[in-house]
A and B are shown apart, each in its own frame.
Chain A
Amino acid sequence: MKLVIDPRRCKGCNLCVKVCPYRIFRPGRRPNERGVVVPELDRPERCANCRLRRLYGRTICGVCQLTCPDQAIRWEEEEAYEPRKVAVEY
């Protein structure tokens, strides 16, 4: 599972920054094209729901999704071992 913030719904209230027990969200830096400062994800692979939802078959934490007043946070299915572009530094 992958944590996604919908930039078209987010209004930039930063409540997810406040409530996330893993401190995955952090305040954004620059406004997007709608003028909203959308929070950034800080190492989202630490999210318990992303890692354990399939194992337990239910939503594990989900506090950010419940708290988000604009329904902007969701989890997307992610294929296991899907190829990803990685910048390799030599």
Chain B
Amino acid sequence: MNFMDWYRADRLPTIFCVGCGNGTVINCALTAVSEVGWKREEVVFVSGIGCSSRAPGYIDADSLHTTHGRALAFATGIKLANPDLQLVVFTGDGDLAAIGGNHFIHACRRNVDMTVICMNNQIYGMTGGQGSPTTPRGALSTTTPYGAEEGTFDLTALSIAAGANFAARWTSYHVKELTNAIRAGLETPGFSFIEAAVQCPTGYGRRNRLREPEDMIEFFRTHSMLRQKYDRLLAEGKLVPPDTIVVGEFVRRDRPVLGGKK
């Protein structure tokens, strides 16, 4: 079964801007779901509000488009009500890190059996490019016209500290690795968190000298670094560029799971 069979062909093309990376991440997620072999009836796709959260509307399966930031709360309810269902949560960085931050850390703490795919485009894309908790320091947005001065959330590290069973980070350039990571997350019982850095040429790249979609893909290609190499460089005391995106699988462990199959 190809991932194209999961799409609602009558809803395509998507509403996303030209060159938006959300479609890529949906492709990878659906490829991973079809590789695992789940049927249409046993998967539920949940999302909150945002560009990335429009994803379940294009998928031909049971889905839930919930209030802003509360996707994980709804998903926890689904899992506890019917543990036989498999859950995939699509969420964005503003959805997950800003307004849904508490739901996120508590879902990690409870270790609910679900897979969360966070499409981190480093901006609030849908509302017009406001700065989000993951906007890099110095980046321009409509609410940070002189450069963001606040620190950023490292969502993967946050999920590991809060107790997720699986955490990985890839970008929309690394499609094969992202697919494998999502598949590993789907197969791991417990809370699996996959952060996918995606390009947002309209909201983010346009204001940060990455106007074309290819520019942001090139940025991901040149600025991402494997976790092993990053750790080695840090151990050797060498200098790592501050805008490096550390990619790879961060943790895979076996903590007690809430809502797993009996």
Given A19-B217, A71-B23, A66:B28 Cβ within 8 A: yes
User: For the side of the interface on A, what is the size category?
Assistant: 20 to 34
Q: Is the CB of B12 within 8 A of A70?
A: yes
Q: Is the CB of A13 within 8 A of B7?
A: no
Q: Are B18 and A13 in contact (CB under 8 A)?
A: yes
- Chain B interface residue count, Cβ-Cβ cutoff 8 angstroms: 26
- Cα separation A67 to B24 with both chains bound (whole Å): 5
Task: Note all chain A residues with C-beta closer than 8 A to B218.
Answer: 18
Quick check: which of B171-179, B189-197, B228-236 contacts chain A, the rest being far away? Answer: B171-179
| Interface SS, A side | loop
8 Å CB interface, A20-69 against B: 63, 65-69
A18 vs B16: C-alpha distance in the bound complex, in angstroms?
Answer: 19
Closest B residue to A72 by CB, please name it: B13
| A-B CB pair tally, cutoff 8 Å | 67
In the complex, the answer to whether A70 meets B214 with C-beta atoms within 8 Å is no
- In the complex, the answer to whether B13 meets A14 with C-beta atoms within 8 Å is no
State whether the Cβ of B147 lies closer than 8 Å to any Cβ in chain A.
no
Verify A69–B21 contact, CB threshold 8 A.
yes
Q: Are A63 and B214 in contact (CB under 8 A)?
A: no
Is the pair B214, A18 in contact by a Cβ cutoff of 8 Å?
yes
**Cβ-defined partner of A15 (8 Å) among B16, B179, B217:** B217
Residue numbers in A under 8 Å from B24 (CB-CB) = 15, 66-69
Residues from chain B with Cβ under 8 Å of A14 in the complex: 19, 212-214
Q: Which residue of B lies closest to A14 (CB)?
A: B214
Flag if B213 contacts A66 (CB, 8 Å): no
Select which of B7, B13, B172, B173 is within 8 A of A11 by beta carbon.
Answer: B13
CB proximity to A under 8 Å, residues B4-29: 4, 7, 12-14, 16, 18-24, 27-28
Interface residues of B, Cβ cutoff 8 Å to A: 4, 7, 12-14, 16, 18-24, 27-28, 31, 172-173, 175-176, 179, 212-214, 217-218
Q: Which residues of A contact B (CB under 8 A)?
A: 8-9, 11-15, 17-19, 63, 65-72, 74
